[in-house]
Chain A
């Protein structure tokens, strides 16, 4: 009993601090996001601003309001950035790890070289890559070294977009995507013979798809079409981010590869597995948990990205905008504190979406032990 009280007392200060400075401030941000702080310039920066409760008005404006078109583009940018950044870092990291796992000459040297970018901050990386990606220098003049004409691609300054879709179709696409994922889950449940899981996933997936193709395709968020897509200007940013983080995934994968017991590999060889089969059925499945943890880390970095884009393209350039930058612009330049808080909360939700399931599964594992 005394031990317990002592333990509680030792923990108390950090509990209080975390309670105030993490959860208290999350609560305050939530409250601010539900007010009109910033709508009235006389109140925005007053010593004691009077705030009025406006409910979800700020969120509604962000997704369907007239002037917040930039927020919507920034969300689309964030989704594409996260996808390509994670795919790029994982893919390149795995390739590098597989190459180093062959124990080439100078392995330690290469390992250091590949890991080195991680020691830099995103601001430094961004500045270097901004120089490299100048329209009339850096990467674009590389071909001239071997006598070819310089590349004409305006890396960070293009306004071109691909995969353009109408924002009004967003509910449709979301329902379609989630529905298809649920059907996939149902398929897995059917193969695994879990009948309850099959029933529920089939039912909810079916309902979603039905909604998508009937009502969902007729929802109008805005009174006019608003095209958004993947900005090609982001390619340069993705390149820099992948360059920075693929060393980290390489290190993770290399540790994973070295951790696979030799006996397992030898057993597989004895059973007659070729080298592709060895990778496909033995090594990659064993690396799956590493991929998951790498995805969690990369995912939350991608969702919070700010400094890299700040350094590479600046704050004002919409084609490389992400929600964190738009939040900064709204709150600290436009004095729209409530709307900024709303974006902050949406980002928190996004990160939670990535991190919480992971934490939950880890916790369950520990409880099981």
Chain B
């Protein structure tokens, strides 16, 4: 009886505490992506006015810096209450296998999320019977961006295969456009690689690469690097010095015709540059990947030992809710992971992407953490450097396979 009373008291105490205290949200959403996060935080503050929200943002595209900071904090025993992480292997292969995350299956049941999210996405979030993070958005990786007016001026159409792309590239070069493809720093080069690889291998082959059924040294996978090399010859030589925004700028300013980038580029062009989607700028699936949606998802997880666990759980509830997702995503330039979100809240690009999300075949992105663990990903950057330095497809393929063996990819 006394024990029962004690539990009741604890529960009452917790629910009272839930309205106060702090909540530290760790993310890499700054700059152009900042407003979306702030809108979500405002919504949280409306619901829980007593909670002091600490927005711990570490800048850097794709979280390159934030992940290192997070690691230091986690290893030092000072985990944030909740942190942004790419859904899939990046979380699972790093933090879940190390037993540092809380299982969120209960929360998913409670909130009815098992029905709200597509099954393919739930599978991606699951490992050993648990569900490990709450997806807030869906981005598409395999998109090619261009300015329709410029293409008309040059007299070309968006290419539908990489062979067509190379022909278009030659035509544009003859018209005096030095670098028809705008490319940025290291990770955007890997981003381009995954679009080429998806087109060359197909959805099936792409998935087999990550389960170990298809070796990187397979002639088909080596051919990816060869095509990639030809595509690189269409790109600017100063890529290493450009951020992804600067690469998009080159397309907008007419210094380049195409850019392959995730659909956060739509957010950048529509929100920051104030261009109208569908008229001022347009998009197509990256060459050869029609009907396939290469996805990545930002999600939030709950580390073991979070200091404000209850506040963090409330945050996760908000992140997974229809209201939260429809507040966040139109600003971020992504779409909701939920199937029941309201198309009217999204711009022309968002509505097109939502249609594809429901109808296309879904595969995961490599660069953005869905299909391979961090230990593979970070060394894949080295493989990319080996290729860019030597332009040797065989050497890059061998190195990639060596890393895959080393980290036990697909095991």
Binding site for B on A (CB under 8 A): 38-39, 41-47, 66-67, 69-70, 73, 130, 134-136, 154, 156-157, 159, 313-319, 328-330, 332-336
Closest to A336 in B: B375
Contacts A67-B403, A157-B240, A314-B186; is A41 near B93 (CB within 8 Å)? Answer: yes
The 19 listed contacts between A and B (C-beta, < 8 Å) are: A41-B373, A41-B375, A42-B97, A42-B98, A46-B99, A67-B383, A70-B382, A136-B238, A156-B240, A157-B241, A314-B185, A318-B388, A319-B389, A329-B381, A332-B68, A333-B67, A334-B378, A334-B379, A335-B378
- B72 an interface residue at 8 Å Cβ cutoff? yes
Give 3 nearest A-B pairs by CB, closest first.
A316-B186, A334-B378, A318-B385
Residue among A38, A154, A315 making CB contact with B375, cutoff 8 Å: A38
Q: How far is the CB of B147 from chain A (nearest CB, A)?
A: 20
Residues B375 and A135 in contact, CB atoms below 8 Å apart: no
Residues A45 and B95 in contact, CB atoms below 8 Å apart: yes
Q: Which residues of B contact A333 (CB under 8 A)?
A: 64, 67-68, 374, 378
Q: Which residues of A contact B389 (CB under 8 A)?
A: 73, 159, 318-319
Contacts A69-B382, A157-B241; is A317 near B98 (CB within 8 Å)? Answer: no
Q: How far is the CB of B133 from chain A (nearest CB, A)?
A: 16
Q: Which residues of B contact A70 (CB under 8 A)?
A: 382, 385-386
Q: How far is the CB of B185 from chain A (nearest CB, A)?
A: 6
Q: Which residues of A contact B241 (CB under 8 A)?
A: 130, 134-135, 154, 156-157, 313
Closest to B187 in A: A316
Q: Which residues of A contact B12 (CB under 8 A)?
A: none
Contacts A42-B98, A66-B398; is A335 near B375 (CB within 8 Å)? Answer: yes
Residues A45 and B239 in contact, CB atoms below 8 Å apart: no
Residues B185 and A316 in contact, CB atoms below 8 Å apart: yes
How far is it, in angstroms, between the C-alpha of A134 and the C-alpha of B382 when the chains are bound? Answer: 24
How far is it, in angstroms, between the C-alpha of A316 and the C-alpha of B403 when the chains are bound? Answer: 17
Residues B97 and A41 in contact, CB atoms below 8 Å apart: yes
B81-114 interface code vs A (CB 8 A; 1 in, 0 out): 0000000000001110111100000000000000
- B74 an interface residue at 8 Å Cβ cutoff? yes
Q: How far is the CB of B310 from chain A (nearest CB, A)?
A: 23
Q: How far is the CB of B294 from chain A (nearest CB, A)?
A: 21
Q: Which residues of A contact B74 (CB under 8 A)?
A: 45
Contacts A70-B382, A336-B375; is A328 near B98 (CB within 8 Å)? Answer: no
Q: Which residues of B contact A41 (CB under 8 A)?
A: 93-94, 97-98, 373-375, 407-408
Binding site for A on B (CB under 8 A): 64, 67-68, 71-72, 74-75, 93-95, 97-100, 185-187, 237-241, 373-375, 378-379, 381-383, 385-386, 388-389, 398-399, 402-403, 406-408
Residues A47 and B100 in contact, CB atoms below 8 Å apart: yes
How far is it, in angstroms, between the C-alpha of A319 and the C-alpha of B408 when the chains are bound? Answer: 29
Residues A66 and B402 in contact, CB atoms below 8 Å apart: yes
Q: Which residues of A contact B388 (CB under 8 A)?
A: 159, 318
Residue among A43, A46, A154 making CB contact with B238, cutoff 8 Å: A154
Residues A69 and B71 in contact, CB atoms below 8 Å apart: no
Q: Which residues of A contact B64 (CB under 8 A)?
A: 315-316, 333
Could you say which of B75, B382, B406 has the most chain A C-beta atoms within 10 Å of its C-beta? B382
Q: How far is the CB of B203 from chain A (nearest CB, A)?
A: 26
Q: How far is the CB of A225 from chain B (nearest CB, A)?
A: 11
Q: How far is the CB of A141 from chain B (nearest CB, A)?
A: 14
Could you say which of B64, B95, B238, B399 has the most chain A C-beta atoms within 10 Å of its C-beta? B238
How far is it, in angstroms, between the C-alpha of A154 and the C-alpha of B403 when the chains are bound? Answer: 32
Q: How far is the CB of B380 from chain A (nearest CB, A)?
A: 10
Closest to A154 in B: B238
Residues B240 and A317 in contact, CB atoms below 8 Å apart: yes
How far is it, in angstroms, between the C-alpha of A358 and the C-alpha of B68 when the chains are bound? Answer: 36
How far is it, in angstroms, between the C-alpha of A333 and the C-alpha of B377 when the chains are bound? Answer: 9
Q: How far is the CB of B364 from chain A (nearest CB, A)?
A: 18
Residue among A45, A67, A73, A156 making CB contact with B406, cutoff 8 Å: A67
How far is it, in angstroms, between the C-alpha of A136 and the C-alpha of B406 when the chains are bound? Answer: 41
Q: Which residues of B contact A136 (CB under 8 A)?
A: 238
| 18 extra A-B contacts, CB within 8 A, seeds A38-B375, A41-B94, A45-B94 | A42-B98, A44-B375, A45-B74, A46-B100, A47-B99, A67-B379, A69-B386, A70-B382, A130-B241, A154-B241, A157-B238, A157-B239, A314-B185, A316-B381, A318-B389, A319-B389, A332-B67, A332-B71
How far is it, in angstroms, between the C-alpha of A246 and the C-alpha of B203 when the chains are bound? Answer: 56
How far is it, in angstroms, between the C-alpha of A159 and the C-alpha of B237 when the chains are bound? Answer: 9
How far is it, in angstroms, between the C-alpha of A41 and the C-alpha of B376 when the chains are bound? Answer: 10
Residues A335 and B386 in contact, CB atoms below 8 Å apart: no
Q: How far is the CB of B221 from chain A (nearest CB, A)?
A: 17
How far is it, in angstroms, between the C-alpha of A39 and the C-alpha of B385 when the chains are bound? Answer: 22
Q: How far is the CB of A82 from chain B (nearest CB, A)?
A: 22
Q: Which residues of A contact B398 (CB under 8 A)?
A: 66
Q: How far is the CB of B97 from chain A (nearest CB, A)?
A: 4
Closest to B74 in A: A45
How far is it, in angstroms, between the C-alpha of A316 and the C-alpha of B389 when the chains are bound? Answer: 13
Q: How far is the CB of B54 from chain A (nearest CB, A)?
A: 23
Q: How far is the CB of B357 from chain A (nearest CB, A)?
A: 30
Q: Which residues of A contact B238 (CB under 8 A)?
A: 135-136, 154, 157
Q: How far is the CB of B408 from chain A (nearest CB, A)?
A: 8
How far is it, in angstroms, between the C-alpha of A42 and the C-alpha of B383 when the chains are bound? Answer: 23
Residues B399 and A67 in contact, CB atoms below 8 Å apart: yes
Q: How far is the CB of B256 from chain A (nearest CB, A)?
A: 13
How far is it, in angstroms, between the C-alpha of A157 and the C-alpha of B409 when the chains are bound? Answer: 32
Q: How far is the CB of B190 from chain A (nearest CB, A)?
A: 9
How far is it, in angstroms, between the C-alpha of A46 and the C-alpha of B75 when the chains are bound? Answer: 9
Closest to B186 in A: A316
Q: Which residues of A contact B67 (CB under 8 A)?
A: 332-333
Q: Which residues of A contact B75 (CB under 8 A)?
A: 45
Residues B374 and A334 in contact, CB atoms below 8 Å apart: yes
Closest to A314 in B: B185
Closest to A312 in B: B241
Q: How far is the CB of A281 from chain B (nearest CB, A)?
A: 48
How far is it, in angstroms, between the C-alpha of A330 and the C-alpha of B374 when the chains are bound? Answer: 11
Q: How far is the CB of B246 from chain A (nearest CB, A)?
A: 10
Closest to A320 in B: B240
Residues A313 and B382 in contact, CB atoms below 8 Å apart: no
How far is it, in angstroms, between the C-alpha of A69 and the C-alpha of B399 when the chains are bound? Answer: 10
Residues A45 and B378 in contact, CB atoms below 8 Å apart: no
How far is it, in angstroms, between the C-alpha of A44 and the C-alpha of B375 when the chains are bound? Answer: 10
Q: How far is the CB of A223 from chain B (nearest CB, A)?
A: 11
Closest to B96 in A: A42
Residue among A39, A66, A154, A335 making CB contact with B94, cutoff 8 Å: A335
Q: How far is the CB of A159 from chain B (nearest CB, A)?
A: 6
How far is it, in angstroms, between the C-alpha of A193 and the C-alpha of B2 when the chains are bound? Answer: 95
Q: How far is the CB of A234 from chain B (nearest CB, A)?
A: 13
Q: Which residues of B contact A332 (CB under 8 A)?
A: 67-68, 71-72
Closest to B75 in A: A45
Q: Which residues of A contact B399 (CB under 8 A)?
A: 66-67, 69
How far is it, in angstroms, between the C-alpha of A333 and the C-alpha of B383 when the chains are bound? Answer: 15
Q: Which residues of B contact A46 (CB under 8 A)?
A: 98-100
Q: How far is the CB of A307 from chain B (nearest CB, A)?
A: 14
